[in-house]
Structure 1
Amino acid sequence: MTAGIVWQRRRAAAVGVWREFAAKKGGLAGLGVLAVIVVLALLAPLITDQAGLDVVHAPGKPLRPPSGEFPLGTDIDGRSVLLLTLWGARISLLVGFSATVLSVCIGTIAGIAAAHFGGWVSGVLLRFTDFFLVLPSLVLAIALSSVLPQGVATIILAIGVTSWPTTARLVRAQTLTIESCPYIERSKALGGGHLHIVGKHVLPGVLPLVLANTTLVVGNSIIAESTLSFLGLGDPAVVSWGSMLQRALTSGAVTGGAWWYLLPPGLAIVVVVLCFTLVGRALETVVNPRLKGERG
């Protein structure tokens, strides 16, 4: 009976959050555009011919402007830029989401542990966090990508293990606020252990804020992946938006005036990051009571 009541309350809270989020037109628009992009990326193998990615069997001529056959023109190898953009979305989104999951998990665990245990545990974790905060995350990611074998997994690891400190700081502050509440003291007085307090009280309390922060981290991860791929540190065997920009630069598309080769991946990155930012800001307004009266 008690479990049923708890789930009813959680469902009611989720419905309330969704209604508040739906009232934010910017966040709702961003979510809609993201849904379309994700669906197109997932359906790319079904709605396009993957054979068109093979440079040996490229169907068009190099650097042809947009036409009826190729709506976004062709690249230096004669491949459809529209096809490359759709398939590039799969890798860019995969890296963005995967690196974000890794980053948020590390940051959440470190933040909760630092606030909950305190003492020397907090001191060590905070110094470790400060070390990563002081050093530029992109420089660390470049260093890791240069040392480790090239591949999508390396890019995910490089971004994930260098971008977690901001999440850790945010989660630590929220955990300290939660653990100062009277019900935490009552739980400890009744014999609640570390796992009970963290699992039943702290984690549910920080998850909404972590979710809002996650949407912002995804955008940063996509930018980081595009930057690393643009610098030639990505997997040369796969197509991503960053690798498209890098390929366009090295093939002379800029000096040749082939704007159709540069514009689609560049705009795709801008649109996706903007959408994640809109969704993140809207969620942040919903889950943070102090911001409800400041943002519309």
Structure 2
Amino acid sequence: MTAETTESASGPPVKPGPPVKSGAPGPRALARRRRRASVARFWREYRTHRAGVFGLAALVLFVLVALTAPLTVGSDVDSVTDAPGQPLESPSGRFPLGTDQFGRNLLGLLIWGSRVSLLVGLLAAVLSVLIGALIGITAGHFRGWYATVMMRITDWFLVMPTLVLAIVLATVLSRSLGTIVLAIGVTTWPTTARLVRAQTLAVESRPYIERAKALGGGHWHIMSRHVLPNVMPLILAQTTLIISSAILSEATLAFLGLGDPAVVSWGGLLQDAREAGSVSSGDWWYLVPPGIGIAVVALAFTLCGRAVEAVLNPRLGVSR
């Protein structure tokens, strides 16, 4: 009889465990390695989409310009009392994009306004996706009367004009950036909710969900550990696509005079140009640069969103 199977007086026989390798990585290290590999694989696929790379380069440029605005143009660029030029000066060496109706440097205002437009678009898109993802996942998981009520509310928001609802909210509430973010976020979530619910239903029909329920997995465990990771690629792609429409909505509300008058944004510049009569007087430098900025940023986000969607779902066959 060997020493491994001999019972000792202090307890049952102790069998030796498997040998431990000193250099073996732990579970967290393996998880980090898998995440790095997934990110590297995603970037390799993303680089094959030329339009997506162009959109990403444009976004990086705009973000850098917005972040460095306090250093490049100063925080007093929107001051009316200390305007450096004469009202509505045409482009020159001193003012490359001319001046506005108060004599302020339009190039500086354009750079400073990018901060507000990008921030409002991002926050509104995040709020919209959070609401849509929450309703979509819960409606797809619980079903029954809850799903019926949530989907009827979603259908009501879908048939209502989004811009009209946003205008109503922006009119009723105080004129601020928070109001614009709220107005856009609570009116643009239904599409995300529909897409996420459909994906949730597809995920929960898979066999491993039934096994997780049989092993005692609760509602929160199923939704957070199994459903959310599978719908996250869809949520990410939807976020990049919604940001462009959120920026356009912010510009529209600001152009209609529903934004914060004390904050410079691209839509606000267009509103100021309209009030100054730049359309009839031919002051193109007051109108064209903000419009081009809005169009380029919206296009860049759309290109990035389509590229992300194509990488995460190759069956879409989006052109490269």
TM-score, normalised to structure 2's length? 0.90
Aligned partners of 2:193 and 2:64: how far apart in 1?
31
Matched to 1:144, the amino acid is L
Aligned counterpart, 1:172: 197
Matched, 1:14 2:14: no
Matched, 1:84 2:109: yes
Deviation at 1:3, TM superposition (A): 3.8
Aligned partners of 1:192 and 1:51: how far apart in 2?
57
Aligned counterpart, 1:282: 307
Fraction of identical pairs, as percent: 58
Aligned partners of 1:85 and 1:234: how far apart in 2?
16
Matched to 2:250, the amino acid is E
1:1-296 matched pairs, under 5 angstroms = 1-291=26-316, 293-296=317-320
Deviation at 1:2, TM superposition (A): 3.4
Matched to 1:204, the amino acid is P
Aligned partners of 1:236 and 1:133: how far apart in 2?
30
Matched to 2:214, the amino acid is A
Matched to 1:126, the amino acid is M
Matched to 1:180, the amino acid is S
Runs of at least 5 residues in structure 2 that lack an aligned partner in the other structure: 1-25
CA deviation vs aligned residue, 1:255-292 (integer Å, no higher than 9, x gap): 1111001011000000000000100000110111321x
- Contact 1:52/1:59 (8 A) holds in 2: no
**Structure of larger gyration radius:** 2
CA deviation vs aligned residue, 1:216-265 (integer Å, no higher than 9, x gap): 10000000000000000000001100010011011011111110010110
Aligned partners of 1:289 and 1:146: how far apart in 2?
43
Residue 217 and residue 294 in structure 1: after superposition, are their counterparts in 2 closer, same or farther (change >3 A)? closer
Aligned partners of 1:250 and 1:89: how far apart in 2?
21
Aligned partners of 2:74 and 2:49: how far apart in 1?
38
Runs of at least 5 residues in structure 1 that lack an aligned partner in the other structure: none
The structure 1 segments of at least 4 consecutive aligned residues displaced by more than 3 Å after TM superposition are: 1-4
CA deviation vs aligned residue, 1:138-186 (integer Å, no higher than 9, x gap): 1000000000011111001101111100110111111111111111111
Q: What secondary structure is seen at the aligned counterpart in 1 of 2:76?
A: helix
- Contact 2:306/2:318 (8 A) holds in 1: no
Deviation at 1:197, TM superposition (A): 1.1
Aligned partners of 2:294 and 2:77: how far apart in 1?
22
Deviation at 1:208, TM superposition (A): 0.9
Aligned partners of 1:278 and 1:206: how far apart in 2?
21
Matched to 1:116, the amino acid is H
Aligned partners of 1:49 and 1:12: how far apart in 2?
42
CA deviation vs aligned residue, 1:69-119 (integer Å, no higher than 9, x gap): 001111111111101101111111111011111111000000000101110
Aligned counterpart, 2:16: none
Aligned partners of 2:221 and 2:319: how far apart in 1?
36
Q: How large is the RMSD of aligned CA atoms in angstroms?
A: 1.1
TM-score, normalised to structure 1's length? 0.97
Aligned partners of 2:248 and 2:318: how far apart in 1?
28
Aligned partners of 1:56 and 1:125: how far apart in 2?
52
Please identify which structure carries the higher helix content: 1
